[in-house]
Every structure is written in structure tokens, then in C-alpha cells.
Amino acid sequence: MNKPLANKWVRKAIYDAIENMVVIDQVSNDVHILQDGNTNSIVNSNGIEIASADFINVPCYDTNVTANGNTPYYNLLTTQTNVEENPTKCEAMWRSSILIDTVTIFSASGNMGSRLLVDNITDAIITATRNLTLDVESGLRIHKQTIGSINNLDNQTDTQNVFRNLLRLELEIY
């Protein structure tokens, strides 16, 4: 195959799509992706401010949370797979997948949290990644994209309640 491995281009496209994710209302756990990187206020399509001041950022990391990434909410771009296929004689393709691990952590005492926030973050990821495109520099294009699976992986300890959604995106890349 004369095509580059799609891994770094897929991660970049997803990271670019979800990097400005914020939780704007801790009561409703409303989640938005800031399109312009604005960290002062969020306005709706009519120009009406729907949130301002302190947002809770939901950072995106590649495989591991950084040492200074002490945050109770985050997204990890984890396991990637690629299989070379030749559906036509003229062109080969990658059948590629990536696992996006969304994590929310709450104290086991007081507000013990719920799965609502992790579900809202996952919904925002699905919306933001619905029409991914790869950087033109890659020479690759996404032909088809589907959600392979969404699984919950929750854990409760004496000190923390951890709610996770594992979202697998599957891509056919030419």
C-alpha cells in the first residue's frame, strides 16, 4: 500500500474536534464544544449569552493523562487498530478504529456524581466527530464512519466514583 498509516491523522482530527470541550452548567451537566476557543462566554446562535466565567474544561489526551493533568473529567484517545484492505483493484484502504475513553471522577462522599455527565460528554463527542475530515497533508480521506460500540466501565472505591464511556469510532480511509 502506498498510503501512510492513518493513526496520527485520525488522532489529530478527533483532538481538533473535541479539544475545546467544556461543562458550562454543573447542575444540568450541560456540555458544549467552544468553536472559537472563547474562554469568557458562550453565546447561542441568536447572540444570547448562555454561560459565562468559570467553565470546567474537559481536556483531551493521547493515551495517558499528563502529570499536571489532575482533572476529574477528561477524554483519552487510546487503542487504535488498522487493517489494510483492497476492496477494488485500483485502490487500497485502511479499515481503522480508535477508542475514545471518557472519564469522570467524583468523590465517594458528598456529591457522588452520576453517569449523566459522562453521557453528556459522550454525546458531545459523537456530535463533534460526526463528519471528521483528515488533514489534506495526509493524502487520506474518510470514506465511511460509524460508531462501532459504546460501553460503560464504571468503578466505585472507598474514595472515588469513576464513570467511564468507551466509544469506538470505525473509519474506512482511502
pLDDT of 135 reads 96
The SS3 of residue 15 is: helix
Domain that holds residue 91: 7-18+59-173
Q: What's the number of domains the chain is made of?
A: 1
Asked if the structure places residue 73 within a domain, the reply is: yes
Give the position of cell 493521547: 62
* Helical segments of the chain, H only: 7-18, 116-128
Q: What is the pTM of this model?
A: 0.84
Asked if the structure places residue 95 within a domain, the reply is: yes
Asked if the structure places residue 165 within a domain, the reply is: yes
Asked if the structure places residue 126 within a domain, the reply is: yes
Asked if the structure places residue 53 within a domain, the reply is: no
Task: Divide the 174 residues of the chain into consecutive groups of 10 and give the mean pLDDT of each group.
Answer: 90 92 67 58 64 71 81 93 85 94 90 86 92 95 95 93 96 96
Asked if the structure places residue 146 within a domain, the reply is: yes
Per DSSP bridges, beta strands 160-173 and 93-107 are antiparallel
- How many Å apart are CA 172 and CA 126, to the nearest integer? 17
Asked if the structure places residue 51 within a domain, the reply is: no
Asked if the structure places residue 136 within a domain, the reply is: yes
CB neighbours of 16 closer than 8 A, spacing ≥ 6? Answer: none
Check which CATH number belongs to the domain holding 144 and give it.
Answer: 3.30.2000.20
pLDDT of 24 reads 62
